Structure 1
Amino acid sequence: MEPAAARQARQRRRRRVVFSVLFVLLVLIAGAVAYGARQLLEMREIPDYTGTGATDVVVRVEQGDTTSAIASRLVSAGVVKSARAFTLAAEDDQRVRAIQPGYYLMRTRMSGEAAVSQLVDPASAVGRLSIRAGWQLDDVTLPDGTVTPGILSRISETSCARLNGTRTCVTPDELRRAMAENEPAELGVPDWATDAVSRVEPGKRLEGLIMPGNYDVRPGSSAEELLAQVMATSTTRLQAAGLPGEEQPGGFDPYQVLTIASIIEREAITADFGKVSRVIYNRLDERFALQMDSTINYPLDRQQITTTDADRGAPGPYNTYLNPGLPPSPIGTPSTEAVAAAMNPEPGPWRYFVKCQTDGTSCFSVSIEEHSAAVADARARGIF
């Protein structure tokens, strides 16, 4: 039989355990009640609009923006009544953390929840522009008759958005007029190119200066504003590509190097960029006419590897069969690889090249006799 003292001690321990468990439960319950009450009180106190909004407004999200930073931008634009209304609604929506930099079509006076829903909707992203290497400002007709929209047409298309029932678009002609009627510096042309650009045909002044990549343009902007927005981004890309360099090859200025890069881009596949660059510099150094078909096709808005006798005999500033030296401007958008090749041509004695493989690879020659044989062989094999 258990002694009375031991039994009483065991009962006291049991009561202490029970009391401890009850105390912990009471603390947890009290905490939950307090948290819930605080949340309800906070929700009541958070300034917030109701509904899905009033009028359209374009808001920009910058690179590196946090949810709080986005909320502040929305408050400034009149989209939400308070930053907390947005951040509270965004807490349980992981898509907010994946929002990309750029412009978004929102509405003023939206509830925090409605603002979150609209911001994460892919249809709300506007003003997204993508430029590829080799494109030029004007539309281009391919050998099969297909028309490839030029950079101006693509900027025009990207400028469109429906704001409060009105479609806001800037036409390619308006963009051309903006190039012609504004000083290059006003459009964001870098200092090292302004003098040369001012001498270019007005409607082609930004040719070659808009580097490949993605851009964000604000719908509803004027033609001048759109071009300045694009140039602001492109100038940083030109710098990243190495322009202007501390010293350009052959004594050429940065704009001339950019022109050489644009010819390289049109004339060769990437693997041959360095050699084509050397051919250009060798011919310029020896005062040979460049004789590049790409420069002749440029003002004709064509992209093909051949020209006719009539094309080559037609006078014009971009005819490098008749005119010595470089054309007056780039003939398209060069890639960073083409710029690198123009800055650092591959060593070699070549003066000629011709596409000689179906994958676009070129054959390079030192003498006209070697070149003529390579051309004849490529023709015989149906390369062109």
Structure 2
Amino acid sequence: MNDDLGLFADDAGQEPDPREREDVERERFRRRRRRRLVTALAGVLVLLVVAGGAVYGVLQLVTLGSYPDYEGSGTGRVVVEVQQGDTTSAIARTLAEEDVVASPAAFVKAAEGNEKITAIQPGFYSMRERMSGAAAVRRIVSDEARAGRVEIRGGMRFADHVGPDGEVVPGVLSLLARASCGAGENEGSGDCVGKEELAGAAAETPLGELGVPDWALAEAKRAPDPQRRLEGLVLPGIYHVKPTAGAPEILRSVLNSSFEKMRAAGLPDIAEGTGHSPYELVKIASLVQSEAIRKDFGRVARVIENRLDIDMRLQLDSTINYLLEEPSLLTEDEHRAKEGPYNTYRVTGLPPTPISAPSTEAIEAAADPPEGDWKYFVKCQKDGTSCFSETIEGHERAKDKAERNGAY
């Protein structure tokens, strides 16, 4: 029987006064609220006790030194990844999971007061198994531990070529192959992925499996040489290669990161209204990157647009040099006379693929070049600055100026 029912009737069984009913309702509400408050406070108290006990326990372990810790500098090789935003504790947990250190506390305690710990960047690190906390701290902040870091620069090609000074200029594939060796300590060993293996994966692995998006897929497939179908799709920037990964995985990881950079630059939407497909825009940007210094990107892009509009051949030396093992500032007549889809002295329109890694600035210039009637340009200053002309007569005068200035 509900005792509350008795509160609503007097001894004679008559209905109570309305004011008495309100008083009873208020009293019952206060009772329920008190019960809920007590229950909530009890729950919070239990959580505080549990959390406090856990924190106290960890602090005691660290303070008293009663935590597992290996001795020495360790053996073998373990590659660990530091994620964006990882704290010292998060790094410590990763190291413990990979058996680099015996416990997170061993690393955290050894890292106390080491300012370099807070400067650790995301990426891969070459560590050893069963290291003491102190040894793990010393190694992870050292240059020799940094593994798989690759810097791609604007204008870089996928393949190696010989520079003007006669030195070999490493291409994207060579840099990725080198990064696959980790921190360089295993370079030349069987643990590295060679550039030939990467080249094979770039040419043979289905582009969709490598992460190439639909907007670039069809046109990249039409590359006249399978070795060139990924050209220009890796933008300049820092990339992190997992040293233990295989060739397709390395390419897929780098391409995924590159297409994130492209999305940040506005692709593929930025191509809307330009009269070009997104892939064509990357082609134009690669030409701009290869032909000009940054301050001239916009005007070079305008020259390309003006020539395309009137079906005038682009006549760009960069497209001739693209197929040469030893490119030069001024190409020779014999090279310009050769037939081929990349020879813009003989073929009207854009080359079949990009010819280098375009920067986001070059992509922006290609998508929105400034207004102008220029159809010619030539590097006329030693710093790479170009002179632009609307007529062939003006162009000849600019070439004379370039010669006087010793630009070439």
- Equivalent in 191, 216, 220 of residue 168 of structure 1: 191
Tell me the residue number matched to 1:126. Answer: 147
| Alignment match of 2:322 (pick from 298, 313, 322) | 298
What is residue 242 of structure 1 aligned with on the other side?
A: 266
Question: C-alpha distance in 1, partners of 2:181/2:140?
Answer: 19
User: What is the number of residues matched between the two proteins?
Assistant: 348
Q: Does 1:43 align with 2:65?
A: yes
Aligned-pair CA distance for 1:74: 1.1
**Contact in 2 for aligned 1:248/1:257 (Cα 8 Å):** no
CA contact (8 A) 1:183 1:198 kept: no
Offset of 1:40 from its aligned partner?
Answer: 8.2
Q: Secondary structure at the match of 1:284?
A: helix
1:277 alignment partner in structure 2: 301
| 1:1-384 to 2 correspondences below 5 Å | 38=60, 42-44=64-66, 46-161=67-182, 162=185, 168-200=191-223, 201-379=225-403, 381-384=405-408
Helix, strand or coil at the partner of 2:244:
coil
Rate the CA distance shift 1:109–1:223 in 2: closer, same or farther, 3 A: same
Change beyond 3 A, Cα 1:302–1:263: farther
CA distance in 2, matches of 1:282, 1:249: 16
1:102 to partner: Cα distance:
1.2
Pairwise CA distance, 1:368: 2.1
Shift of 1:276: 0.6
Aligned partner of 1:224: which letter?
P
Take 1:39 and 1:336, find their aligned partners in 2: how far apart are those partners?
50
**Distance (Å, rounded) in 2 between the aligned partners of 1:160 and 1:380:** 48
For 1:181, the aligned partner's letter is: E
- Amino acid across the alignment from 1:250: T
Deviates more, 1:177-186 or 1:102-111: 102-111
Q: Is the 8 A contact 2:127 2:145 kept in 1?
A: yes
Alignment deviations for residues 291-318 of structure 1 (CA, whole Å, 9 cap, x no partner): 1111011011344331111111100110
- After TM superposition, the score normalised by the length of structure 1 is 0.84
- 1:285 to partner: Cα distance: 1.0
- C-alpha distance in 1, partners of 2:151/2:333? 36
Paired residue secondary structure (2:65): helix
Contact kept, 8 Å, 2:297 with 2:365, in 1: the verdict is yes
Structure 1: stretches of 5+ with no match in the other structure? 1-34
For residues 298 and 305 of structure 2, the distance between their equivalents in structure 1, rounded to whole angstroms, comes to 11
- The 3 A distance-change label for structure 1 pair 138 and 81 is same
- Indicate if the aligned counterparts of 1:160 and 1:167 stay in contact, CA closer than 8 A: no
Structure 2 portions without partners, runs of 5+: 1-56
Q: Deviations for 1:301-348, whole angstroms, at most 9, x for unmatched residues?
A: 344331111111100110011111100111111122111110111101
Q: How does the TM-score come out when normalised to structure 2?
A: 0.80
How far apart, in 2, do the equivalents of 1:40 and 1:96 lie? 18
2:274 match: secondary structure: helix
Runs of at least 4 residues off by over 6 Å? none
Alpha-carbon distance in 1 for matches of 2:387, 2:218? 37
Distance 2:75 2:329 in 1: 55
What letter matches 1:268 in structure 2? A
In structure 1, the partner of 2:6 is none
Deviation at 1:218, TM superposition (A): 1.3
Q: Which amino acid aligns with 1:43?
A: G
CA contact (8 A) 1:249 1:344 kept: no
